[in-house]
Amino acid sequence: MSVRVGISGWRYKGWRGTFYPEDLLQRRELAYAAGLFPTIELNGSFYSLQKARSYRQWYAETPEHFVFSVKAPRFLTHVKRLREIDGPFANFLASGVLALEEKLGPLLWQFPPNFRWQPELFESFLQALPRTTAQAAMLARDHDHRVADPHLEVLQSRPLRHAVEVRHASFIDPALVDQLRRHQVALVAADTAGLHPVMHDLTADFVYVRLHGDTELYSSGYGDQALRAWARRIGYWERGEQSPDAVRVSGSDAPVQPRDVYVYFDNDAKVHAPFDAQSLIALLKRPRARR
């Protein structure tokens, strides 16, 4: 099992001269960031379909064993709201995501604050998610003309993980946890400065953490005490246990099993994300006290 700590996105104008050296060419930013972090959350895919050549370039610019998590399009979650999404989902899968091959990590599905939990609709969505990249390639063949340069093949079929980030209070329900566990889909442990529900229930064989800001969404950084608290939680989750301070919705525990953990800092507005990520990585590398 592994813990990967990284950043959500890498191209931010305000990061130049603070995180990125002033003289660094913009086209070298990904390679620079990938030299410091083992993973990056690709969020451009959330706003629009990316091109296959871009995914191939990102693959080439990152080192061996690097992993991208990819944010699914908001057109599916925010506009279509999971209804009649077969075609748009095929377009997303055909757009080049599969060109990442072994560097493709979880797909992130983020839902808007006004999206209520509808168990039957959510069940249909979860059932339709491809569980391998080969299954995803099959679904991608149903793309339409909106994908001019489709990437429809995988060199080797690999497991495909999914994580959901929910923001409406209706999701605070033990039945949701049971539903996600049946489908082995991770419930994102999100820190949104108190604006959205906090749920730390373990629902899959991996954990997905998104840190949007300690006290102010997207803008505030994480101090040493907050980072140490997250490092402790991550240590428990990596070992497969639930953290004692976890906010749990379900009264039942998930099986104890080692878990991969993906952590992404999204507090990018004031350039906290890359430095907080580096600080957390340093904390996780320090010897842990014996329990």
The domain segmentation of the chain, as residue ranges, is 3-285
Q: Average of pLDDT values for 164-170?
A: 97
* Helix or strand (DSSP H, E) at 105: strand 104-110
Fold designation for 3-285: TIM Barrel (3.20.20)
CA distance 213 to 165: 15
* pLDDT exceeds cutoff 60 at 20: yes
What are the φ/ψ torsions at residue 225 (nearest 5 degrees)? Answer: -65, -45
Count CA within 13 A, CB hemisphere, residue 194: 4
* pLDDT exceeds cutoff 60 at 289: no
| pLDDT for 291 | 35
| pLDDT for 290 | 36
For the chain, the helix, strand and coil percentages under 3-state DSSP, each to the nearest 5: 35, 15, 45
* pLDDT exceeds cutoff 70 at 144: yes
| pLDDT for 194 | 87
Which residue is listed with tokens 């604050």?
113
Is-contact 241 254, C-beta < 8 A? no
Using CA atoms, how far residue 126 sits from 10, 119, 131, 180, in Å, is: 29, 10, 10, 8
Burial class (CB in 10 A: 0-12, 13-18, 19+), 221: buried
| pLDDT for 286 | 64
Residues 6+ positions from 127 with CB-CB distance below 8 Å:
183
Q: Average of pLDDT values for 68-73?
A: 98
